[in-house]
Amino acid sequence: MTITQGQLRGREKNGVRSFLGVPYAEPPFGALRFAAPQPASGWEGVREALEYGPTAPKPGYLPPTDALLPEVFVDGQDCLNLNVWTPEGADGLPVLVWIHGGAFVNGSGAISIYDGSAFARDGVVCVTINYRLGVDGFGLIPGAPPNRGSLDQIAALTWVRDNVAGFGGDPAQVTIAGESAGAMSVATLLALPPANGLFSRAVLQSGAGHHVLTPTTAAEVINEVASRLGVDATVEALGSVPVDDLIRVQADLGAEIAARPDPTRWREITVNGMAFEPVVDGQLLTARPIDLIAAGASRDVEVLVGTNSDEHAFFLVPSGVSSMVDASLLRGALSLLGTDVEQIVGTYATELPGATPGELMIAALSDWFFRIPAMRLAETRSALGADTYVYEFAWDSPRFDGRLGACHALEIAFTFDNLDDPNSIPMAGDHAPQALADGMHRAWVDFVRTGRPGWPAYGADRTVMRFDVESGPVPDPGRPARELWSGVR
């Protein structure tokens, strides 16, 4: 295989060729620390592309999350790399570029559930990417270009445009997709002018266009990180700190904000839950993605967006928090969400008769954090006449005696058709329904190929495709809760 940088040697299995750990930008260290990504250098001879490349520096997940979400650590500085799966003999096929989640501080494109073999089997060239995380990717450092993680994603998409034809892909048929922080990254890319023309379709799984930081909050975060390290908040000073120390401090700060939320200091992080996110810096990102999309950004891009029914069960059930929530704690948590607490509780109690306070908290937070932003994206685009398709993943995991429900990240193995991957079992169990994976994966493939996943676009009847053991379109599910957040979220 020959690309712009040189020759690659991959491997072939069952008619699918894979090329792993291919650099798309120079290692972001040394003189390039906190700099915009630079195109990767070429090489002499044939480069082996048989193993995943280095992953971006990150702290890793803490218990109990680490038992549910797989994580991969590969040492090395050449972390701005990507992976490609393509069918043998491919030519002019549509392309899917996957942007991983992980709250903008964890994750990588090397996670086995993201193996793109099933997409390649079904006629789609699949690419997964790494990008810089935490302070390196999203810290607002004076003198450094802001939103470097987003710039990395644009650099990866530029590489795809310039090289994917060699893998049998069509650079004019690129779909970007992601889950959680990856979906929020997709929404950000929809809003960024430098990304225009690099993709024609987008898939957002459990993330949309509301989650960003203001410059004021982002400056507070980086100043606190620097203070704890005993250095100035500058490129030179932070660049002199050992990477492990920087990662430790950013992780400690994020955990402390989550444990002791202070709205007067941490503002939107108190409810967003992430100390590092894309920043409305006024240069690259001039407003919230949802507002730029409402103004017409990426109007010509076809979009598939959706969420899982019980997103926040992932965050509250394994930790035991949901079982400890009483009426007082429920009202205290929901008081941060910007509308009348009793109205929130009353609406969800009516929708979920007999629900415990913990279950009401899961429902309300799932909507505020995930479902309502997805609905707003669909509504906004529908008003512009832009094709948008909405789904809900509703299959309940058997884990934690069924209390995990259709939680955050559960759908990924279904959309990638990778239920047989051992890393899917901690969340989905040993006997997840393959028929559901068949249906979801086919819808994703159809969308990547045609822009039509198989159900009507979101419009006046607010059609949502509900994926479960029995799947089908549903008109305006969860209407009372959706109306509750009107004008608030």
How does pLDDT run across 252-294, given as a tens digit for each residue? 999 999 888 899 999 999 999 999 999 999 999 999 999 999 9
Domains 2-214+277-298 and 305-484 share a fold: yes
* Cβ atoms 272, 297 nearer than 8 A: no
The model's pLDDT over 29-60, given as tens digits with 9 standing for 90+, comes to 999 999 999 999 999 999 999 999 999 999 99
Which of 311, 359, 392, 411 is an active site residue?
A: 311
Cβ neighbours of residue 188 under 8 Å, at least 6 residues apart? 147, 150, 209, 212, 278, 285, 289
pLDDT at 418: 98
Concatenating the DSSP letter of every residue in 97-141 gives EEE--STTTS--TT-GGG-THHHHHTT-EEEEE----HHHHH---
The model's pLDDT over 94-147, given as tens digits with 9 standing for 90+, comes to 999 999 999 999 999 999 999 999 999 999 999 999 999 999 999 999 999 999
Dist CA 59 CA 403 (whole Å):
28
Model confidence at 170, pLDDT cuts 50, 70, 90, reads very high
pLDDT at 338: 87
Dist CA 258 CA 323 (whole Å):
19
| E strand or H helix at 475 | strand 472-475
Model confidence at 369, pLDDT cuts 50, 70, 90, reads very high
Question: What angle in degrees, to the nearest 10, is found between the helix axes of 341-351 and 327-334?
Answer: 120
Which one-letter amino acid corresponds to residue 193? P
24 token code pair: 């798309």
Collapse the DSSP code of 485 into the 3-class scheme (helix H, G, I; strand E, B; otherwise coil) and give the result: coil
Dist CA 307 CA 481 (whole Å):
15
Residue bearing tokens 């990240």: 409
Dist CA 187 CA 359 (whole Å):
29
The rounded percent of the chain whose pLDDT value lies above 70 is 100
Model confidence at 377, pLDDT cuts 50, 70, 90, reads very high
pLDDT at 259: 86
- CATH number for the region 2-214+277-298 comes to 3.40.50.1820
pLDDT at 231: 98
Please check the confidence at residue 429 and state whether its pLDDT lies above 90.
Answer: yes
User: Rounded mean pLDDT of 14-23?
Assistant: 98
Please check the confidence at residue 328 and state whether its pLDDT lies above 90.
Answer: yes
Question: What angle in degrees, to the nearest 10, is found between the helix axes of 148-163 and 181-191?
Answer: 80
408 counts as catalytic: yes
pLDDT at 487: 92
Collapse the DSSP code of 84 into the 3-class scheme (helix H, G, I; strand E, B; otherwise coil) and give the result: strand
Q: How far is CA 155 from CA 2, 129, 269, 394, 455, in A?
A: 19, 10, 28, 35, 33
Which of 185, 408, 424, 441 is an active site residue?
A: 408
Dist CA 466 CA 471 (whole Å):
6
322 counts as catalytic: no
- Domain boundaries defined on the chain: 2-214+277-298, 215-272, 305-484
Longest dimension (CA), the chain: 68
Which of 180, 185, 206, 366 is an active site residue?
A: 180
Dist CA 212 CA 280 (whole Å):
7
User: Rounded mean pLDDT of 390-410?
Assistant: 98
Query: CA dihedral in degrees (320, 323, 326, 332; nearest 10)?
Result: 40
368 token code pair: 């505020």
180 counts as catalytic: yes
224 token code pair: 């606190």
Please name the fold of domain 305-484.
Rossmann fold (3.40.50)
Which one-letter amino acid corresponds to residue 282? G
Dist CA 152 CA 150 (whole Å):
5
Cβ neighbours of residue 375 under 8 Å, at least 6 residues apart? 390, 482
pLDDT at 261: 86
Dist CA 124 CA 120 (whole Å):
5
Q: Output the average pLDDT for the chain.
A: 97
